[in-house]
Amino acid sequence: MKTNEIMPLNGNNTSQSTLNHDDVGDNHMLTGMDTPMIPTAFLISDKEKKERIAFHFTEIMDTLGLDLNDDSLKGTPERVAKMYIEEIFSGLDPKNKPKIALFENKYQYEQMLVEKNITFYSNCEHHFVPIIGKAHIAYVSSGKVIGLSKLNRVVQYFAKRPQVQERLTNQIARELQKVLKTEDVAVIIDAKHLCVSSRGIKDDTSATVTAFYGGVFNTHEKIVELQNFISH
Ligand SMILES: [Zn+2]
């Protein structure tokens, strides 16, 4: 998939079985709407997950030849494990999903509302290196509204997973459509992938832009209006 282009997200690519791992990873293909997880994902405790990650990260560091007796390195496996579970991959666990209360739209505001430039940090699921970007969220109230900070929290929740940008865009949009009880949701994400800039092709200037336009946003007129909101 090329960078620097808007990718519409209506299609769902299902014919992945003949692809090898390098094809999928280096071309950053989307393999599904839901984060692929095993059925037993939440049968072990966070404490046990941290212990297992620390154990295996020790193996990785040891294999690389790093001296785990060194003062600076010896705490790293536990630090990485804690960071994975409590911070950067905490969005894998539904118990961390933001609870969102709906309010009546008492201001009678019936135009689009845009929350722009929501900074997020995610990680590429193919290389486990950062994706750094901004999300712009828009919706038209169905009569109900949510607190502005909740839009931000939904972005952060889905960002805190190993991700591909296309899925992140869709997951945020689908969740907001559900909680806001409307199809009229748009999500635009503009992000930099460190697996593209710091390794591989080493392109430091490209960015990837993805968009989801639901309901009333799926017209040329509304998309232009939305772009104007975002660029001001
Ligand atoms: Zn990657």
CATH topology for 102-231 is GTP Cyclohydrolase I, domain 2 (3.30.1130)
What pLDDT does residue 22 have? 66
CA of 133 relative to ligand 1 center, distance in Å: 14
Q: If pLDDT is split at 50, 70 and 90, which confidence band does 138 have? A: very high
- Annotated catalytic residue: which of 21, 115, 165, 232? 165
CA of 11 relative to ligand 1 center, distance in Å: 21
Which residue type sits at 51? E
Q: Where in the chain is the domain with CATH 1.10.286.10?
A: 43-92
220 classed as catalytic: no
Using DSSP, state whether 117 is helix, strand or coil: strand
The rounded distance, in Å, linking the Cα atoms of 68 and 76 is 9
124 classed as catalytic: yes
C-beta of residue 74 within 8 angstroms of C-beta of residue 61: no
126 classed as catalytic: yes
127 classed as catalytic: yes
C-beta of residue 211 within 8 angstroms of C-beta of residue 170: no
- Annotated catalytic residue: which of 28, 124, 136, 177? 124
- Annotated catalytic residue: which of 28, 125, 171, 177? 125
Mean pLDDT of 100-119: 90
CA of 123 relative to ligand 1 center, distance in Å: 8
168-220 confidence digits (pLDDT tens): 999 999 999 999 999 999 999 999 999 999 899 899 899 999 999 999 999 99
- Annotated catalytic residue: which of 28, 127, 166, 177? 127
Query: Does domain 43-92 bear CATH number 3.40.50.720?
Result: no
- Annotated catalytic residue: which of 28, 126, 163, 166? 126
CA distances for 83 relative to 66, 104, 172, angstroms: 20, 38, 23
How many residues are recorded in the chain?
Answer: 232
Q: Write down the pTM of the prediction.
A: 0.86
Calculate the average pLDDT of the chain.
88
31-42 confidence digits (pLDDT tens): 568 999 999 999
56 classed as catalytic: no
110 classed as catalytic: no
177 classed as catalytic: no
Tokens of 75: 């705490």
CA of 131 relative to ligand 1 center, distance in Å: 8
CA of 139 relative to ligand 1 center, distance in Å: 30
